[in-house]
Amino acid sequence: MNKCARYLGCFSALLFLACSSGGNSTIEEEPPAREDMAQVCSDCTVCARDTDCPPAAGFCDLSRNRCIKPTGSGVFQAGGTLTAGAAPYCVAASDLNGDGRADLIVANNMSSSISVLLGDGMGGFASPVNFSVSAKPSFVGIADLNRDQKIDLVVGYIDLTVVSVLLGDGAGRFGAAKNFAAGAGPRGAAVGDVNGDGSPDIVAANFVDNTVSVLLGNGSGSFGAAKSFAVGTDPRAVAVGDLNGDGRLDLVTANNGSANVSVLLGDGRGSFSAASPLSSGIAPRALVVADVNVDGKLDILTTSSGSNTLNVFLGNGTGGFASASNFPAGSAPIGVVVADWNGDGRLDLASANGQSNDVSVLLGNGMGSFGTATNFRVGNLPRSLTMADVNGI
């Protein structure tokens, strides 16, 4: 059985989706795509993703591209399960067909497919429609890669040396996967315009050769030759954001094997500085950049799966970061998301915990600290989580 378990908020109706690989022995994670595409915005009401909305403005309602403020309690209740393919490693959410309702996108590691589940806006989803990709997809991210206002997909793999791009038709369907060379084992990826030419670029985290690959986009859905930059050992996830406030996107990776994250500052032309490491807990698996203490400077949050902690690195706005503050989560936290679930204007934190089979929610105090985890049960071996308002309440 391979399911995505849904956990609905009692009042906010925000949805947690934690994919489980169920009875399969293969295990891996991916970070949800939307965190990977974080940007800073001081006064946004128009948004394309949650991180476009400052904490006081809430989260991004993808159906209207407007920041809305939740009124929930931060408490979630079981919402049922949905069937996807075999070993769903990664889940993302977006309105794919423009009906104002959040849809789901799932990477099925053992089915070599991407499942799309269209939402009905009332918490229900249609049966999955599957799109073939190469073997063992580990990651799926969402972005408009060819600038036609329709969501496209980026897929990463455990065993391959390519990433795949699937262009969306705006009606919930995707074209044939097209592969572009990356490094070895691009398990995670992020999208951002790293060279400032207006076309989205792809950055992949290559866990086999300990690099990130940068693939510059041509704006029509094709990508150039990969340029690689060394990071720590066994990078599992990468995020982009302007960490030093120079208007150029920077990179950060979660390095499972070296118990740290790597920060690489961008030159705005597609190249990056040598990686500088920040010590995390053991086996960091996913990460997100967000301004959790509302000082206008991006911070880094990662999940240390071997330490059962969530690590927060507060940024100084010039590319430097304070030592990690660590907050206990469930067992083996892997996926991570941030959002303001209880509507107090402060970002909260959640992780998908691969061994305790639950999701931890830690409410933020708006100063970079987070409270005690409240855990909500999900299916077996959750690797990834995302959030969306699936029922409009």
Location of structure tokens 């409410």:
363
DSSP H or E segment with residue 383: strand 382-389
The CA–CA distances, whole Å, from 157 to 139, 181, 362 equal: 7, 11, 30
Shortest separation between residue 6's beta carbon and Ca ion, angstroms: 27
b/e string for 360-391 if b means 16 or more Cβ within 10 A? bbbbbebebbbeebebbebbbbbbbbbbbbbb
Among 2, 195, 256, 384, binds Ca ion (CB under 5 A): 195
| Contact residue for Ca ion among 2, 63, 97, 146 (CB under 5 A) | 146
If binding is defined by CB under 5 A, does position 150 make contact with Ca ion?
A: yes
Q: Which of 61, 299, 348, 389 binds Ca ion (CB under 5 A)?
A: 299
Identify which of 298, 299, 260 has the alpha carbon closest to the alpha carbon of residue 278. Answer: 260
Burial of 114 (0-12, 13-18, 19+ CB in 10 A): buried
Residue 242 is a binding residue for Ca ion (CB under 5 A) = yes
Which CB sits closer to Ca ion, 21 or 244? 244
> Which member of 193, 234, 340, 358 binds Ca ion (CB under 5 A)?
193
Q: For Ca ion, which residue of 201, 234, 340, 358 counts as binding (CB under 5 A)?
A: 201
Among 255, 293, 351, 353, binds Ca ion (CB under 5 A): 293
Structure tokens at 311: 């690590």
> Residue 275 Cβ, how far from Ca ion at the closest point, in Å?
14
**Site membership for Ca ion, residue 50 (CB under 5 A):** no
| Mode of pairing for the β-strands spanning 186-192 and 178-181 | unpaired
Under rule CB under 5 A, residue 95 binds Ca ion: no
Site stretch for Ca ion (CB under 5 A), options 36-44, 57-65, 179-187, 289-297: 289-297
What is the smallest separation between the CB atom of 331 and Ca ion, expressed in angstroms?
A: 28
Residue 5 vs residues 61, 77, 392: alpha-carbon distances, Å: 21, 11, 19
Per the CB < 8 A criterion, the answer to whether 128 and 203 are in contact is no
In 256-356, which ranges are E strands? Answer: 260-264, 276-279, 284-290, 299-304, 309-313, 325-328, 333-339, 348-353
Q: Does 291 bind Ca ion (CB under 5 A)?
A: yes
Interacting residue with Ca ion among 12, 244, 256, 386 (CB under 5 A): 244
Q: Which residue carries 């990433």 as its tokens?
A: 163
Q: Is 304 in the site for Ca ion (CB under 5 A)?
A: no
30 contacts Ca ion (rule: CB under 5 A): no
**∠319-336-221 over CA atoms, to 5°?**
75
Cα separation, 315 vs 293, in Å, equals 9
Of the candidate residues 61, 95, 250, 389, the single one contacting Ca ion (CB under 5 A): 250
Nearest to 366 by CA among 342, 388, 332, 390: 342
CB closer to Ca ion, 250 vs 348:
250
* Among positions 136, 297, 346, 383, the unique one binding Ca ion when judged by CB under 5 A: 297
Contact pattern for Ca ion over residues 98 through 137, marking x by CB under 5 A: ----------------------------------------
* Alpha helices, DSSP H, located in 52-168: none
Minimum distance from residue 208 beta carbon to Ca ion (Å): 26
Q: Which residues bind Ca ion (CB under 5 A)?
A: 144, 146, 148, 150, 152, 193, 195, 197, 199, 201, 242, 244, 246, 248, 250, 291, 293, 295, 297, 299
